[in-house]
Structure 1
């Protein structure tokens, strides 16, 4: 079985890392695979290459590079002659449907990572190109049901394979080792430390989070917030922190590779996203036994059971109240929330089980 995987990019992101994790466990004796990125080389591309998998970069940035990249994709597919084209993320899904069809690929499967496409025109493209794809895979049941309800997908062509995680390496620290890590960031034992991880873009809504956190600090001066990641809106967020006197309370960490360590030293995770699919970062937070305050978007409610694992909010303006509420929950109850959350994720989102589902899908005749 020959499979070509087409991604919009191979930068660090939830979908990109999920593809890498799947490929790291995929049975390569049964499945020969190549990866194609529409955008230039980036960090996840290097990770995939380290698995011994060929990665092609179409270098589609703007203007004529799109035409060159489209033609090159066609040539790669014609030369490799895959039995299946598996695409991830919006731009790759749309391009893959057209070019895969032109190249005569027998089966095309799209993976839709969230239900926010960025406008009616994009929704129309998803709907009108549905005839060019054999199956669309969503990463959450809630998102799949919404897509079918909105008539963007036909029920018979909609499937669900959730994201998977390997909990190894994610754990809850306690005592001296935890305090040593906190002290490196200037955090005391008395601080209640929140963390949020992601790209500084409109989706993650970090500006909205900072506006809420300003209210949290007014009520609970012991609160601290760590923001890990980078992106186009980071400078705007940093300016907001300076202008509102929050520098003592908010730390910008940049892109980090020690996410497990960071999660082990904080007290709670906050997700301020305006839209999501099934956030990998919430799975990681659960494996670190963290209570969560999160926007109830996409498949978040599948991961976080209200009151048991954390608090869900329907409006970003409610984040501050729920964060303050979580800080008032006794430590033993917060720890119980974290334990239950880890049990839920480990029991239902095993990476090995998810990889088996992808393998079975790829190997279907």
Structure 2
């Protein structure tokens, strides 16, 4: 965490936020909840949220406001600018405009991002691909961007590399998977943009040629019922295993032979980083961040989004050539290093804050503690 001797941190969160992390944050952080700030667009509640955020920022006289997410980022930055906040930072965790939305909506989102960029002192992106995409759309100048990867605690994933074969055999048995079956796994929320439907259609083709295979889906969400029906329609009941939300993801990745990700868009896919850390070969759609983890033909394969033919081909190739798959997985370990850990993220963020403070605020304004607003979502 940021040093409490120098920073007074307030966390502003929307009413739909997950507050399970509060005990980990500690007493140094004051949490302020805005119930009207929600994910979906709601003109009335959004206006109320904007006014509340503006009043909070104005009354508390923050030196720095740091926003996250698309909607919270826009409302938070505009409110901070109106309140006269000296430093405004925004972290991009994913692209807000993409090819899977209507052209009109995409254009509108780009215009809103450009507007917010006018009052943004610095963009932090979780991956270089994301930075390149925003700069190419003239959303702020390149000098306003820095990449700081999301902190991921990889300790358990490093350790999962060394789990013995006997342990893997027992875990596969618990899931009802024969020891001889190949396991393909995916980790993501169950919602349309995660593209599970493409994996299911690829699986339908694969099992007709290679029946000794299981597909393990980790994650939960409102799309589960639809996907379960699709599994029945494709006669995949014996090959698909829904595990829901799990806390033992490192162990589960360890028993997989291949990890796949079929999301249509991301920022930096954490599941790919985790899979590479455990040493698993990867087949992923070509989305933002994928090429920062996967090198084509070295530790996995990158296929165009929605391309079921190529997805099927690459998964089937690895499933039927496990020695090659294992070699590729070992190569993936080399691509994941300490730049992904939480300590590095906090250190780099602190350095960015210090540079902005020294550049934009005079020493006379920095007497005492600096109050930093670290979240608006």
Please give the TM-score of this superposition, normalised by the length of structure 2: 0.84
Q: Which runs of 5+ in 2 are unaligned?
A: 358-377
What's the counterpart of residue 320 of structure 2? 328
Q: Could you tell me how far 1:305 is from its partner in structure 2? A: 0.9
Tell me the distance in 2 between the aligned counterparts of 1:292 and 1:148.
28
Tell me the distance in 1 between the aligned counterparts of 2:195 and 2:25.
34
Q: Could you tell me how far 1:64 is from its partner in structure 2? A: 3.7
Answering whether residue 25 of structure 2 is matched by residue 51 of structure 1, we say yes
Answering whether residue 337 of structure 2 is matched by residue 363 of structure 1, we say no
Contact 1:116-1:275 within 8 A present in 2 as well: no
CA distance change for structure 1 residues 264 and 320 in 2, over 3 Å: closer, same or farther?
same
CA distance change for structure 1 residues 260 and 330 in 2, over 3 Å: closer, same or farther?
closer
Tell me the distance in 2 between the aligned counterparts of 1:258 and 1:222.
25
Q: Could you tell me how far 1:55 is from its partner in structure 2? A: 2.2
How many residues matched? 338
Greater C-alpha radius of gyration: 2
Tell me the distance in 1 between the aligned counterparts of 2:4 and 2:207.
51
What's the counterpart of residue 343 of structure 2? 352
Contact 2:300-2:328 within 8 A present in 1 as well: yes
Which residues of 2 match residues 217-256 of structure 1 at below 5 A?
217-256=207-246
What's the counterpart of residue 175 of structure 1? 165
Q: Could you tell me how far 1:344 is from its partner in structure 2? A: 1.6
Aligned-residue CA RMSD (Å): 1.9
Q: Could you tell me how far 1:48 is from its partner in structure 2? A: 3.3
Contact 2:218-2:245 within 8 A present in 1 as well: yes
User: For 1:126-149, what per-residue CA distance to the aligned partner results, in whole angstroms no more than 9, with x for missing partners?
Assistant: 012211111112211122122212
> What secondary structure does 1:326 align onto?
helix
Please give the TM-score of this superposition, normalised by the length of structure 1: 0.87
Q: Could you tell me how far 1:334 is from its partner in structure 2? A: 2.5
Tell me the distance in 2 between the aligned counterparts of 1:221 and 1:86.
50
> What secondary structure does 1:359 align onto?
helix
Q: Which runs of 5+ in 1 are unaligned?
A: 1-24
Contact 2:280-2:328 within 8 A present in 1 as well: yes
Tell me the distance in 1 between the aligned counterparts of 2:335 and 2:5.
32
What's the counterpart of residue 190 of structure 1? 180
What's the counterpart of residue 91 of structure 1? 71
What's the counterpart of residue 81 of structure 1? 61
What's the counterpart of residue 295 of structure 1? 285
Contact 2:124-2:145 within 8 A present in 1 as well: yes
